[in-house]
Structure 1
Amino acid sequence: MEMFESIVTSYVNGEWIKGGSNRTYEITNPYDNSVLTTVSIASTEQTEQAFAAAKQAQKQWAKTSADERKAVLERASAYLETNRDEIVQVLSKETGGTQVKAAVEFGLALEVLHEAYHIVHAIDEVKEVPGHIEGKRNEIHRLPLGVISSITPFNFPFNLSMRTIAPAIALGNSVVHKPDIQVGMSGGVIIAKAFEHAGLPEGVLNMLLTDIEEIGDLMLTNPDSQLISFTGSTAVGRQIGAIAGRELKRVSLELGGNSPFIVLADANVDHAVDAAIFGKFIHQGQICMIINRMIVHESLHDVFVDKFVEKAKALPVGDPADPKTVIGPLVNEHQLEKALKMIEKAKEAGASVALEGKRIGNALSPYVFTEALNDSELAQTELFAPIATIIKASSDEEAVALANETDHGLSSAIFSTDTEKATELALSIDAGMTHINDQTVNDAPNIPFGGIKASGLGRFGNPWIVDEFTTMKWVSVQSKQRNYPF
């Protein structure tokens, strides 16, 4: 099966439709700028049609049995596994990800889909609670929320799209999904094809290849949407939160990060360096959970820097199609220019360059900065690039304090041979997730994935996603005539 078609279209109400905007967009390979496919951009009218179809289809989908919904999920999973090798290559070519990154992303998405099997019965459960009125029985029913707006980014599009779509469908909702158009195949087309193959009823999943220039805020403001699920930048998340508040819509927001990686005085330096190399440079640093600041106790700082630099400068940079490549291209020229400007600003601000990288085509080899202040622009910016910042701490307590000096709070990590102490400190870090003796980039479908502060609202993962994507209804049954005061 050939994934990359000459013209890629949206999927609305069970049909693949040519975009009505009369505009097209070329999806390119970030490594060599070659055109992979051309997208036919969906219009405002087609977006409204998608929401109307989703609203209508959801009413019937909510009435299906848990076994029926599970069977659809299983068939979608089988389709993806059958086409695994081709999908992995699409993920690599479209996102610029290495073979390792693409394989990891495919695996994570499948885990999310498989975990969704376990929540299909959630909307069938009825809980009885006692009441104070004689003859009254109180039932608490869990119902599907309705139509969910799904908006996902460019970095892990297959996984980050699936983690909304699969549980939403499992819980009897319908979805209108807009992936980042730069990665329309990975984030949208492949998933729509899988559910089409699985026999998902028309309108339950609608996938739009469009952009803000065409549809504005319609994904947020359409009255048929009950919840906005968004993964992306904090700036856009704030805008979505403001609109959702005005429209009285629920949101699930997984936003930016500034993840600290703390190395305590008693840490095993070699183990910490190995973890930091992976947690900083996987997918060129283009991950919300990526290590943004390495905060190292002063007694280990110099040796950590030396070992980290030695490993970083040996990382292979180049074509992600080569299995040996560790660092591939940034997703587009804009992201690359942002990274280069930040490097120059950091130098001008007085940060020391422990490793000078360079631009290699559309890729950037690793940069390592030391002597940067924790409140500097370098340290406080979500870099999304292979730029490492190492900060010295005078004590373990100061390391934690420095870690907390950020508006964000997504992921974090602590290295220490004293896991009891590390666990105590982990609970004092302002982040939704802390990993002891590991790096910051961890994900699983059965944990409460999400952040605090400017890193978002809500939690993905089973069973927490059930509360996000359903609503509760109280039904009372009065079996004995009630006496009223008037």
Structure 2
Amino acid sequence: MISTPATGWADLDKQFIAGAWEPGGSGKQLRDTNPYDGSLVAEFTVADTADVDRAFVSAQDAQRGWWKTNAYRRRTVFEQAVRYVEDHTAEITELIIDELGGTRLKAAFEIGLVVDILKEAATFPLRMEGRILPSPIEDKENRLYREPVGVVGVISPFNFPFFLSMKSVAPALAAGNGVVLKPHEDTPITGGTLIGKIFEQADLPAGALNVLVTEIPVIGDAFLRHPVPRVLSFTGSTAVGRHIAEVAAQEFKKPVLELGGNSALVVLADADLDLAVAAAVFSRFTHQGQICMSANRVLVHRSRYEEFAAAYVAAIAALPVGDPRDPETVIGPLINAKQAETLARQVDEGIAAGARPLLRGEVSGTRFEPVVLADVTADLPIAHAELFGPVACLMPFDDEDEAVAIANDTPFGLSGAVHTRDLEHGVEFAKRIETGMVHVNDATIHDEAIVAFGGEKASGLGRLNGEWSLAEFTTLKWISVHRGRRVFPY
């Protein structure tokens, strides 16, 4: 039973397959608990491989009719989804707080992103445009038709589950595809069944979207290897993304991967220090640092290093830590105790290797108070790890070439930021950073519905948002028409 029920939400602890809400076939139970106090949010009977098959077949069957639906009618579904989210913002906020320990500030941020991506997706049905191209052959016309790929499989993470599920689900559906969504087992409602409910209430045809709540020990690679989906969209760790890419290549599927990060926020000698400190705090401690774009590393010119460090630590020490239901709380719990244990071990290893703790809060269960490590050097393992929690590494540099080298000394390449009073110099510096995104005089955390989002190196493959999502979830078919009588050479 869901702990924060709303009218019509009684089904959110079930699978959503072919338009029906039902328990999974495995018989295995999944307890969905509040990471702050351990209370039960919901309990699921997880899906098995037979459910996986039914979900993909349902999506395939429904997709044919969905794609034939008038484009203006398809647009209406997404407009209705926007209204549903806006009308249920209060209830969705409570679910985000309960299920993933998000603060009220984080919930508002995430819901706003969802509304934006739904509004952008609502434009897709009217943007499925083709082209007519000339031919060197007389009386011949070349037509390019943009069509949906068919069915898209979406696997989403636990940190921004509502948005990062919707970021692929909504554009894929809007382009005329069927979709099967598998949310993370720690966030099966906000990343999964809630989205099923939204589109059910928005009058999406039954079966076009299916939601499977399950666990990998139960289904193995059945979701990835099923013959129906042509695109697999995954957001999560690089290790899992690498496996998905390998399977996708074997099965001739297209992978769209939004993976991990180890972003650097660089403070040049001429930076506005107050702005840089504020941006660095937001970049590292939003949602307890559980964001792939978070600034794990803060690189500061040596001439400003001590001044910056003092202001940075003072700002972080003042952040309220505790119950995410409290509107004043900025740092809530990590998603589970395993994540906290891993992060605590990384901190211990970093200090043992030579990092100097300027701030080291207490760790208790999923409660993890902020940590700031100073004098981190590029040879320390902690400088290369993705720290998925409220831990920041301060790294001094002497010149900009050194800063670029440090920033690029990572297998990741997702986001970044540079602070300087010379904006165009900041842009030129940003061009040298090997990431998909860099922000001048701002935070490392940004996602806008019409701007290409994605990483380089081990941070992923492909781009999402706007026209790039449209391209990822569609294909082009060339149909040529010869209006005369073709003469062949033999």
Inter-partner Cα distance in structure 2 for 1:6 and 1:189:
8
Q: Which residue of 1 aligns with 2:335?
A: 331
8 A contact 1:177–1:206 mirrored in 2: yes
How well do the aligned residues superpose, as a CA RMSD in angstroms?
Answer: 1.1
Partner of 2:124: 119
**Structure 2 match to 1:63:** 68
Post-superposition offset of 1:37: 1.1
CA distance in 2, matches of 1:6, 1:160: 22
Matched, 1:248 2:252: yes
Show the counterpart of 2:133: 129
* 1:351 paired to 2:355: yes
SS at match of 1:475: strand
Could you tell me which of 191, 194, 197 is aligned with 2:195? 191
Q: Residues of 2 paired with 1:471 and 1:4: CA distance?
A: 36
Counterpart pick for 2:29 among 5, 24, 27: 24
**Aligned residue number for residue 3 of structure 2:** none
1:398 maps to 2:406: no
Q: Identify the match of residue 372 of structure 2 among 336, 355, 368.
A: 368
**Aligned: 1:460 with 2:464:** yes
1:271 aligns with 2:270: no
Pick from 461, 480, 483 the counterpart of residue 476 of structure 1.
480
Q: Calculate the TM-score normalised by the size of structure 2.
A: 0.97
Matched, 1:385 2:376: no
Cα offset, 1:122, TM superposition: 2.5
Instruction: Give the superposition deviation at 1:296.
Output: 0.5
Structure 1 distance, partners of 2:91, 2:378, is 43
Native 8 Å contact 2:150 2:177 kept in 1:
yes
1:40 and 2:45 equivalent?
A: yes
What percent identity do the matched residue pairs reach? 45
Asked whether 1:437 is paired with 2:449, we answer no
CA-CA distance at 1:76 after TM superposition: 1.5
Query: How far did 1:381 drift?
Result: 0.5
Kindly indicate whether the alpha-carbon contact (under 8 Å) linking 2:418 and 2:439 is maintained by their aligned counterparts in 1. yes
Q: Secondary structure at the match of 1:449?
A: coil
Q: Give the CA deviation at 1:314.
A: 1.1
Distance 1:468 1:446, change over 3 A: same
The amino acid across from 1:375 in the alignment is D
Select 1:78's aligned residue among 61, 74, 83: 83
Per-residue displacement from partner, 1:207-243 (whole Å, max 9, x unpaired)? 0011101111111100001000000000001001111
Q: Deviations over 1:441-462 (max 9, x none)?
A: 0111100000010000001110
Which residue is equivalent to 1:101? 106
Structure 1: gaps of 5 or more residues: none
What is the aligned partner in structure 2 of residue 211 from structure 1?
Answer: 215
Secondary structure of the 2:313 match is helix
- Cα displacement (A) at 1:6: 8.8
Partners of 1:64 and 1:122 in 2: how far apart? 15
Which range moves more in the overlay, 311-320 or 5-14? 5-14
Residue of structure 2 equivalent to 1:88: 93
Instruction: Output the amino acid matched with 1:301.
Output: Y
Q: Secondary structure at the match of 1:350?
A: coil
CA distance in 2, matches of 1:279, 1:256: 15
2:433 corresponds to 1:408: no
Q: 2:52 & 2:485 partners in 1: Cα distance?
A: 50
Alpha-carbon deviations, 1:287-340, whole Å to 9, x = none? 000011001100000100000011111111100000000111000010010111
Name the aligned partner's letter for residue 55 of structure 1: Q
Structure 2: how far apart are the matches of 1:276 and 1:30?
A: 26
CA offsets 1:330-384 (integer angstroms, 9 cap, x no match): 0001001011111111111011111121124521111110111123111111011
Residue aligned with 1:8, SS: coil
SS of equivalent to 1:355:
strand
Contact 2:11–2:21 (CA under 8 A) maintained in structure 1 = no
Query: For residues 412 and 433 of structure 2, what CA distance do their matches in structure 1 show?
Result: 11
Separation of aligned partners in 2, 1:244 and 1:361: 37
Contact kept in structure 2, 1:6 and 1:37, CA below 8 Å: no
Q: Which shifted more, 37-46 or 355-364?
A: 355-364
Equivalent runs, 1:283-294 vs 2, <5 Å:
283-294=287-298
Matches within 5 A, 1:49-60: 49-60=54-65
Contact 2:162–2:191 at 8 Å: present in 1 too?
yes
The answer on 1:424 being equivalent to 2:428 is yes
How many residues end up aligned between the 2 structures?
Answer: 485
Unaligned runs of 5+ in 2: 1-5
Structure 1 letter corresponding to 2:38: N
Query: Secondary structure of the residue that 2:120 maps to in structure 1?
Result: helix
Q: CA deviation at 1:279?
A: 0.8
Structure 1 residue matching 2:389: 3-state secondary structure: coil
Measured after TM superposition, the shift of residue 90 of structure 1 is 0.4
Q: Deviations over 1:396-419 (max 9, x none)?
A: 221111101111000000000001
| Other-structure match for 2:173 | 169
Residues 360 and 180 (structure 1), Cα distance of their counterparts in 2 relative to 1, 3 Å cut: same
C-alpha displacement of 1:64: 1.2
TM-score by structure 1 length? Answer: 0.98
When structure 1 is superposed on structure 2, of 76-85 and 403-412 the one drifting more is: 76-85
